[in-house]
Structure 1
Amino acid sequence: MSFINKAFLTYASGLLKGLDRTRRYPFEVQMKVFRTLLKGGTDSAFGSDHGFSKIGSVEDFQRQVPVRDYNALYPYIERLRSGEDYVLWNEKTRFFAKSSGTSSGKSKFIPITRTNLHGCHYGGMLRMLANYVQLYPNTRIYSGKSLTMGGSVEPDLSGKSFSGDLSAILLRNSPAPAELLRVPDRKTAMMYDFHDKVEIICRKYSKANVVSFAGVPSWNLIMLRSVMEYNNARLLTDVWPHLELYMHGGISFEPYRAQYDAIIPPGSVRYFENYNASEGYFAFQDDPDDKSMLMTLDNGIFYEFATLKELSDAKDNGRPVPTRTIEEVETGVPYAVIISTTSGLWRYLIGDVVTFTSLTPHKVMISGRTQLFINAFGEELMIGNANAALAAACKKHNATISDFTVAPIFIEGKLKGAHQWVIEFEKAPEDVEAFADTLDEELCACNSDYEAKRTHTMTMERLHLTVVPEGTFYRWMESRGKIGGQNKVPRLYSDLRYVDEILGI
């Protein structure tokens, strides 16, 4: 083990001990976080409004603080953005992570306090890196450069704070030692124009000793291919021969795996998934042989979970959402994630759906979004089903996709319907209709509700598939001003709005 790796593990020893405690005593760790959060929220306007000083238990907290989504919490966030201090937490808020708003189409402004930035976001990343170095003591990730692209930040409403992509906020505040190990330079990484940023990376950093990179698979793929084209390289490792690690997140990696295998020799680079968002750093893949992710239970987030049915019933009946803590969850059940954080997100419904694969320790897979699913005919298609079926169909037909989106279509006066798939292939199947048949069969195989609705085509016809030319999705995202950063193509949507826009490109 190199000196720098030993030094890093010594520095991160407390974090590794914390991870061990979360594996062994998850509920006790969460209760300590809960008490810390109550203390930090008591002296805020929100804490005063909800009687935090009188809360003595999780049950009290659940009775006095309703589950909220972004729209319900926004009046408090608006006060923060207007310059008022100590609204949601007992610290001043000087940054707001501007979320892409995949489900609603509207941007969200998520408050980021100093405690949240350092304890949760940076703390989560350090935990993952410490775990990685512990797994691979001879790693070279601290002997070279990590390539990360950020978004941009700008002054917010009051002029006292800034808003922008979480990636840009992290870069803007990153400590000097971290900047020594990262490329491109901060100014380039935070440039607004994605094309200019990629051009500079190609020109200035092709000769850098890049050993790792991080970010969203779709935008990174565009950047990496540009680097290869600039250097007239057949493989990415021809440009950066010491590359060993890709830390990915934001969207499922599976639809892009074949494309990465085409530019990076399989086995030469390790792929590890992060589960982080504007609201916090939630989990990371701690085992290369297990795709599920270890939850970070000790970095300033108190978790609650509700089934989708509980969430739907509560909304329909105007009742409180019944939730369970980390001590009460079960494996194999899709749960909506509800968080309370050191940024003052109190019982906040983040919109993600996770499924626990293990309770010793607590590990999850991302199943989808509470709003990013299709249930027009009772089929309850989640993004995890779509990704799995698409990967299987691509493997069978030797195809590779660039992007896709899905929406329901109604037939026979809305009594029957189907799903409209729009796919942009990088490598198209020889027989598109056969591919569509396989995709439909795979959806039935991984989703019993979909299969039931497809039986004898009583409720749903076989899916409809439209193939669009190369570059269509990129041009559509560009037309919406959503290039690079944390911007994502909406994979599943409840109506044809996005499908119609894409087909009109």
Structure 2
Amino acid sequence: MSIVSYLAKAAAGIFYNKQKKVMRNAVADQEKTMRELVQKARNTRFGHDHHFGNIHSYEDFKKHVPIRDYEGIKHYIELIKKGEKDILWPGKPAYFAKTSGTTSGTKYIPITKESMQNHIRSTAKSLLTYIATTGNSDFINGKMIFLSGSPTLDEVGGIPTGRLSGISNHHVPGFLRKRQVPSYETNCIEDWETKLDKIVEETIDKDMTLIGGIPPWIQMYFDKLYEKTGKKVIELFPNFSVLVYGGVNFEPYKQKLFESIGKEVDSIELFPASEGSFAYQDVQGQKGMLLTSNEGIFYEFVPAEEIHDENPTRLSLRDVEPGKNYALIINNNAGLWGYNIGDTVKFVSIDPYRLIVSGRTKHYISAFGEHVIGEEVEAALSETLKKYPAQITEFTVAPLVAQEEGKSHHQWFIEFEKKPDDLEAFAEELDMHLRKKNAYYDDLIAGNILQRLQIISVKRDAFINYMKSIGKLGGQNKLPRLSNDRKIADVLEKERL
């Protein structure tokens, strides 16, 4: 064991002992966080507008701070962009994280010096927890890569602006930066395919021990390595032992990723977003990520079925229940208040508070009243793959509304790496599992309102080409699992096999 890995293991042990106490105090920490956030921001423009001086409890908070999406805070962001300070949070943001919005165009999410610490510490916490619980610290000795967007930053209103992954790249701790690949110059390449070729060139002969990113883009990296060498990842990187991922459900990609690697390796799931880093996997082989309860974020939870209501139920951490879908609302030390980030979560445990990301509030199908969500289609697919082995590169689901009664159905556009031997039986099984997951969908099938789902196999790289066509190939971009319209489906129709 090297001195570096020995020190890492010692530090991990100290951290993990402290973290056990944090797990027990999550509710108290959340209540303290709410009070501290309100107190700190009471003299901001937002604080004055929402009477922060009159907030002394969570009930007061709910009366004065409504739930908003980006459109609801956009006028405050515009003031910040014009150079004004003390708007959402004291002073000015250290950065704007630039993301794409469906209705708002480009969104500028403020990141302050205080909130940046949450982003920085989340990955460190996940790795220290992993070392403490598994004893594996040897990966610290090798090279590491987090596939990310460009760290090149522009300026908006005098504030450095770029993708979150690029901003975070400027804050990698020194001891990790020495082991980080690729080079800064390569990371700055904007075109994903050009960048990926260069990443392969720079890493192919390195001792890679940790690889991280969004699963489909990790898979592209693995595919490029195989294309160049004809070897599996573990043959190229025999000491590779940790896969870090986030942003999408791992299950649809798991089989192909591990086959590309050549064996199963330990994996660590993160729950990152431009608005904060909310949870991380703290136990290997166990479902769920530990909520970060003491990182300057006060969480609220709205039953998912109420998120579009005028006055939805709002719960603090104290009142959540396991097994229920909640829209995640955050209030943080970057000045986001009552902010609907668009994700839904489900707690798998409340002692400690562990959750999974179950879907998106805007990504669902309810063209016929079924309200099918991402968690349901992913779970149905996972169950089907247990009986009918296949390898799936990517997929998305959309409704097809037909004029003839009983002819409408869901279309699943799937890019198969390896097709099931019997595609019709696969579709039957998939439909059966989705009916079990969603009673409304089951009723529509039973009542002959909908036909059984249809699987449409698409050409190789159909999804890559689609993402490229909309300028979202690579980095932190994710393909919607479900759409309630046919914008994506109509493009993929042209890619049928």
Normalised-by-shorter TM-score class: over 0.9
After TM superposition, the structure 1 stretch with the greater mean CA deviation from structure 2, 460-469 or 411-420, is 411-420
Q: Deviations 1:168-193 (Å, cap 9, x if unpaired)?
A: 11002323333112111223223212
Structure 1-normalised TM-score?
Answer: 0.93
Q: For 2:111 and 2:20, locate their aligned partners in 1 and report how far apart those are by CA, in whole Å.
A: 27
After TM superposition, the structure 1 stretch with the greater mean CA deviation from structure 2, 43-52 or 252-261, is 43-52
Q: SS at 1:246's partner residue?
A: strand
Instruction: Report if the CA contact (8 A) 1:18-1:298 is conserved.
Output: no
Q: Deviations 1:298-338 (Å, cap 9, x if unpaired)?
A: 11110110112322332xxxxx3320100001111100000
Q: SS at 1:163's partner residue?
A: strand
Number of the residue aligned with 2:303: 307
Number of the residue aligned with 1:244: 241
- Say if 2:112 is the partner of 1:113: yes
In structure 2, relative to structure 1, the CA distance for the partners of 1:10 and 1:89 (3 Å cut) is: farther
Q: For 2:52 and 2:16, locate their aligned partners in 1 and report how far apart those are by CA, in whole Å.
A: 32
Shift of 1:199: 1.6
Q: One-letter code of the match for 2:234?
A: T
Q: One-letter code of the match for 1:502?
A: L
Q: For 1:204 and 1:138, locate their aligned partners in 2 and report how far apart those are by CA, in whole Å.
A: 26
Shift of 1:77: 1.5
Instruction: Report if the CA contact (8 A) 1:418-1:462 is conserved.
Output: yes
Q: SS at 2:308's partner residue?
A: helix
Q: For 1:109 and 1:17, locate their aligned partners in 2 and report how far apart those are by CA, in whole Å.
A: 37
For residues 177-256 of structure 1, the aligned pairs below 5 Å read 177-233=175-231, 235-256=232-253
Shift of 1:10: 5.4
Shift of 1:104: 5.1
In structure 2, relative to structure 1, the CA distance for the partners of 1:474 and 1:327 (3 Å cut) is: same
Instruction: Report if the CA contact (8 A) 1:274-1:284 is conserved.
Output: yes
Shift of 1:464: 2.2
Q: For 1:442 and 1:261, locate their aligned partners in 2 and report how far apart those are by CA, in whole Å.
A: 25
Q: For 1:6 and 1:39, locate their aligned partners in 2 and report how far apart those are by CA, in whole Å.
A: 42
Number of the residue aligned with 2:365: 374
For residues 223-372 of structure 1, the aligned pairs below 5 Å read 223-233=221-231, 235-267=232-264, 269-314=265-310, 320-372=311-363
Shift of 1:378: 2.5
Instruction: Report if the CA contact (8 A) 1:194-1:483 is conserved.
Output: yes
Instruction: Report if the CA contact (8 A) 1:292-1:357 is conserved.
Output: yes
Give me the CA root mean square deviation. Answer: 2.1
For residues 2-41 of structure 1, the aligned pairs below 5 Å read 3-8=3-8, 11=11, 15-41=15-41
In structure 2, relative to structure 1, the CA distance for the partners of 1:93 and 1:47 (3 Å cut) is: same
Q: Deviations 1:363-383 (Å, cap 9, x if unpaired)?
A: 111111111111222222111
Q: For 2:445 and 2:115, locate their aligned partners in 1 and report how far apart those are by CA, in whole Å.
A: 46
Q: For 1:40 and 1:492, locate their aligned partners in 2 and report how far apart those are by CA, in whole Å.
A: 40
Instruction: Report if the CA contact (8 A) 1:41-1:88 is conserved.
Output: yes
Q: One-letter code of the match for 2:361?
A: T
In structure 2, relative to structure 1, the CA distance for the partners of 1:11 and 1:36 (3 Å cut) is: farther
Q: Deviations 1:52-105 (Å, cap 9, x if unpaired)?
A: 22321111111111111111111112222333222111132132222244x659
Q: For 1:187 and 1:414, locate their aligned partners in 2 and report how far apart those are by CA, in whole Å.
A: 58
Q: Deviations 1:218-271 (Å, cap 9, x if unpaired)?
A: 0111012212322331x101111100000111111111111112112333x101
Q: One-letter code of the match for 1:329?
A: V
Instruction: Report if the CA contact (8 A) 1:285-1:294 is conserved.
Output: yes
Total equivalences in the alignment: 494
Shift of 1:22: 3.1
Q: For 1:455 and 1:130, locate their aligned partners in 2 and report how far apart those are by CA, in whole Å.
A: 51
Q: SS at 2:424's partner residue?
A: helix
Of the candidates 461, 471, 475, which is equivalent to residue 461 of structure 2? 471
Q: For 1:474 and 1:409, locate their aligned partners in 2 and report how far apart those are by CA, in whole Å.
A: 23
Q: SS at 1:273's partner residue?
A: strand
Q: For 2:83 and 2:218, locate their aligned partners in 1 and report how far apart those are by CA, in whole Å.
A: 36
In structure 2, relative to structure 1, the CA distance for the partners of 1:399 and 1:420 (3 Å cut) is: same
Of the candidates 156, 164, 186, which is equivalent to residue 166 of structure 1? 164
Give aligned-pair identity as a percent. Answer: 35
Q: For 1:62 and 1:414, locate their aligned partners in 2 and report how far apart those are by CA, in whole Å.
A: 46
In structure 2, relative to structure 1, the CA distance for the partners of 1:171 and 1:497 (3 Å cut) is: same
Q: One-letter code of the match for 2:324?
A: V
Shift of 1:414: 8.1
In structure 2, relative to structure 1, the CA distance for the partners of 1:124 and 1:406 (3 Å cut) is: same
- Say if 2:140 is the partner of 1:149: no
Number of the residue aligned with 1:399: 390
Q: SS at 1:344's partner residue?
A: coil
Instruction: Report if the CA contact (8 A) 2:70-2:104 is conserved.
Output: no
Question: Which consecutive segments of 4 or more residues in structure 1 shift more than 4 A?
Answer: 9-15, 413-416
Instruction: Report if the CA contact (8 A) 1:100-1:486 is conserved.
Output: no
Q: One-letter code of the match for 1:398?
A: P
Instruction: Report if the CA contact (8 A) 2:384-2:430 is conserved.
Output: yes
Q: Deviations 1:102-146 (Å, cap 9, x if unpaired)?
A: x6594322111111111x111211211111110122421211111
Q: For 1:308 and 1:223, locate their aligned partners in 2 and report how far apart those are by CA, in whole Å.
A: 35
Shift of 1:17: 4.9
After TM superposition, the structure 1 stretch with the greater mean CA deviation from structure 2, 14-23 or 491-500, is 14-23
For residues 62-101 of structure 1, the aligned pairs below 5 Å read 62-101=62-101
Instruction: Report if the CA contact (8 A) 2:115-2:334 is conserved.
Output: yes
**Unaligned stretches of 5+ in structure 1?**
315-319
Shift of 1:354: 0.7
Shift of 1:2: 5.1
After TM superposition, the structure 1 stretch with the greater mean CA deviation from structure 2, 388-397 or 143-152, is 388-397
Q: For 2:115 and 2:33, locate their aligned partners in 1 and report how far apart those are by CA, in whole Å.
A: 13
Q: Deviations 1:386-406 (Å, cap 9, x if unpaired)?
A: 112122333433211111111
Number of the residue aligned with 1:423: 414
In structure 2, relative to structure 1, the CA distance for the partners of 1:289 and 1:227 (3 Å cut) is: same
Instruction: Report if the CA contact (8 A) 1:44-1:89 is conserved.
Output: yes
Instruction: Report if the CA contact (8 A) 2:406-2:451 is conserved.
Output: no
Instruction: Report if the CA contact (8 A) 2:8-2:137 is conserved.
Output: no
Q: For 2:168 and 2:430, locate their aligned partners in 1 and report how far apart those are by CA, in whole Å.
A: 39
Instruction: Report if the CA contact (8 A) 1:172-1:186 is conserved.
Output: no
In structure 2, relative to structure 1, the CA distance for the partners of 1:361 and 1:405 (3 Å cut) is: same
